[in-house]
Structures are given as C-alpha cells and as structure tokens.
C-alpha cells in the first residue's frame, strides 16, 4: 500500500502529495505532517490531489488548516489535481472557489 | 456501450463494532452496493479493493455514508466503541436506502450549525461539515434518536433510464 502522503522540497517550494483516502483515520497523521510543513514557513506550497480517491469532512478540515496556516504567514498555496469524489466534495462545500481548484 | 446491470438485490445487512477501525469495511460494502444501482464499472477490475468512486450516484452515497459512520463512531460511541453499528442497505432499481442503527448516545442534529453562506478565506470552516455533506448529497436523510438511534439515508438515480446508461 503506498504512503498516503509525501512531502518534497525544491528551493522555496514545498509539494505535498496526498494519495488514496484522506479521512478521519488518515487525517491525524496528515495534520502532523502539516505542522512540520508550516513550521518551516515555505514561501509556496503546492498540494497535489491527483492521486486522491476519497475525502471526508475530516480530510477537508486538514486541508483547510493547511490553507489557513500558509496564508496566515503570507505564503501562497495552490491545490491542484482534485477529481471525482474529492472534487465533488469541494464543490458541494463551495471551497473550489476559495481554493481556486 | 449500453448495459442493463440491475438485478433484484436483497437487503444487505452488516454489523460492525462501533469504532473507526471498521469504517473501511463498511464504506467498501456501501460503495459496492451503490454500484449495483448505478451500474458503474470499476476502473481496474483486477484491483477490486481500490478506492474507485467516480460515478455521481456512488459519490453521493459513499460521501454521505462516510459522514454518518464517522458521526456514530465519534458522537454515539465517543470514539470508544462499546456497541455495534448495524447497517441495512436496500439497493433498488433506481434508488438505494441505507439504515444505520447504533445503541450509543443520541445525536443533537438540531444543534448542527449551518455552513457560512459567504465562504471566503476567513470563514473557511474547520469542522461541522459532515452532516451538511451527508444531507446535501442525499435526497432524504432522517434521524430518529433511540435506542436504537436510527439514520435513514435515501438516494435516487436522476440520470437517464438504465438501458441508456453506459
């Protein structure tokens, strides 16, 4: 089973790739990774959701936490690649416009 | 390709311990039951355990059910288990009904706050979205405090007739 998320850094940009299911069981581990990312205050964060198959409200909450934290210190964040069920959830919550998905 | 996949399906019953450990099992059963109604096809038939929820009907059913299962495990059983979650899934030709029963604490559904109407960076919610997702995804959702507490979820197909779907 692949790792549900992975962080890579290139210069001032950090990319967070999330795979599989981001849900109430996997979101706590992601939240810890988010804390580590935010602690380094990267100027730009890219979140790659192209391999994310399922998300629930706990997963959305984790992404909102990341978004607010990055924006809170003036960083930029781009959420890319959402499709299928996750995209439907972002649209239902009207977060697709805020996240510019 | 036109297909006619639906066959008379009996009610599917699944009882799991009321903890998040068993969430994945329940979600997979519900996803496959939704597929009986939507006639959606697995992206990779050789990987039947892959999360593959792309059809709008499957998306709505699975998304709503995941939130209700979370709610029961967290609110009814306080993340400690101690009871069961009884799931009854009735796939029909053009709809699915799912009943979820638990024997834990009743949930105050009237106390669920609505999402902010104007969403921006400041008002992005970090919680309280689950019931909103479930209710919006479904055609009907009712909750009756128990014991047992009972969630009843219903989703209808709104697309073209089955024979015309591909």
Query: If interface means Cβ-Cβ distance under 8 Å, which residues of chain A face chain B?
Result: 20-21, 23-25, 53-54, 56-58, 60-61, 64-65, 67-68, 71, 84-85, 88-89, 92-95, 97-98
Average pLDDT, chain A: 93
As a whole number of angstroms, the distance between CA A20 and CA A18 comes to: 7
pLDDT tens column, A69-95: 999 999 999 999 999 999 999 999 999
Residue A59: band (very low, low, confident or very high) from pLDDT cuts 50, 70, 90: very high
Considering the domain delimited by B12-105+128-161, tell me its CATH architecture: 2-Layer Sandwich (3.30)
**Measured between beta carbons, which residues in chain A are less than 8 angstroms from residue B132?**
93
**Measured between beta carbons, which residues in chain A are less than 8 angstroms from residue B41?**
none
Q: What is the pLDDT of residue B161?
A: 46
**Measured between CB atoms, which of A64, A88, A98 is closest to B120?**
A98
Strand-pair category, A44-48 with A76-80: parallel
Which ipTM did the prediction report? 0.92
**Confidence (pTM):** 0.91
Q: Which residue of B has its CA nearest to A60?
A: B126
Residues written for chain A: 101
Q: What is the pLDDT of residue B162?
A: 43
**A56/B66 CB distance under 8 A:** yes
Average pLDDT per consecutive 10 residues, chain B (166 residues; last block may be shorter):
65 97 96 92 71 89 97 96 96 95 95 82 84 96 96 88 42
Question: Containing domain of residue A82, as a range?
Answer: 5-98
Work out the number of other CB atoms within 10 angstroms of the CB of residue B4.
11
Residue A2: band (very low, low, confident or very high) from pLDDT cuts 50, 70, 90: low
Q: What is the pLDDT of residue B6?
A: 67
Q: What is the pLDDT of residue B120?
A: 79
Structural contact between residues B77 and B19, judged by C-beta atoms closer than 8 angstroms: yes
Interface test with B, best of A84, A86, A98 (most B CBs within 10 A): A84
Q: What is the pLDDT of residue A89?
A: 96
Domain locations in chain B?
A: 12-105+128-161
**B115/A93 CB distance under 8 A:** yes
For B122, residues 6+ apart whose C-beta sits below 8 A from its C-beta are none
As a whole number of angstroms, the distance between CA B43 and CA B64 comes to: 22
**B129/A60 CB distance under 8 A:** yes
Q: How far is A37 from chain B (nearest CA, A)?
A: 18
CATH number at residue A77: 3.30.750.24
Interface test with A, best of B59, B69, B112 (most A CBs within 10 A): B59
- Overall domain count for chain A: 1
Q: What is the pLDDT of residue B2?
A: 42
Alpha carbons within 13 A on the beta-carbon side of A18: 29
**Measured between beta carbons, which residues in chain B are less than 8 angstroms from residue A65?**
126
Interface test with B, best of A30, A54, A91 (most B CBs within 10 A): A54
**Measured between CB atoms, which of B20, B52, B124 is closest to A95?**
B124
């Amino acid at each position: 089973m692949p790792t549900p998320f992975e962080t890579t850094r290139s210069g001032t940009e950090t990319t967070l790739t999330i795979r599989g299911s981001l849900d109430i069981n996997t979101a706590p581990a992601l939240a810890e990774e988010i804390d580590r990312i935010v602690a380094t205050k990267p100027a730009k964060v890219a979140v790659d959701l192209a391999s994310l198959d399922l998300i629930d409200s706990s997963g959305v909450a984790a992404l909102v936490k990341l978004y607010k934290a990055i924006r809170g210190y003036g960083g930029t964040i781009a959420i890319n690649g959402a499709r299928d069920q996750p995209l439907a959830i972002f649209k239902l919550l009207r977060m697709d416009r805020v996240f510019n998905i | 390709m036109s297909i006619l996949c639906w066959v008379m399906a009996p009610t599917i019953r699944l009882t799991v311990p009321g903890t998040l450990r068993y969430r994945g099992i329940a979600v997979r059963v519900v996803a496959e039951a939704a597929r009986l109604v939507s006639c959606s096809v697995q992206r990779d038939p050789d990987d039947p355990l892959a999360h593959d929820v792309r059809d709008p009907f499957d998306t709505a059913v699975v998304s709503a059910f995941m939130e209700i299962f979370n709610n029961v495990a967290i609110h009814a059983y306080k993340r400690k288990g101690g009871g069961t979650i009884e799931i009854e899934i009735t796939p029909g030709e053009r709809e699915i009904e799912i009943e979820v029963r638990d024997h834990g604490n009743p949930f105050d559904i009237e106390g669920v706050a609505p999402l902010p109407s104007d969403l921006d960076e400041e008002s992005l919610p970090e919680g309280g979205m689950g019931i909103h997702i479930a209710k919006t995804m479904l055609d009907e959702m009712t909750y009756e405090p128990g014991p047992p507490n009972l969630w009843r979820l219903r989703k209808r197909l709104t697309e073209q007739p089955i024979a015309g779907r591909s």
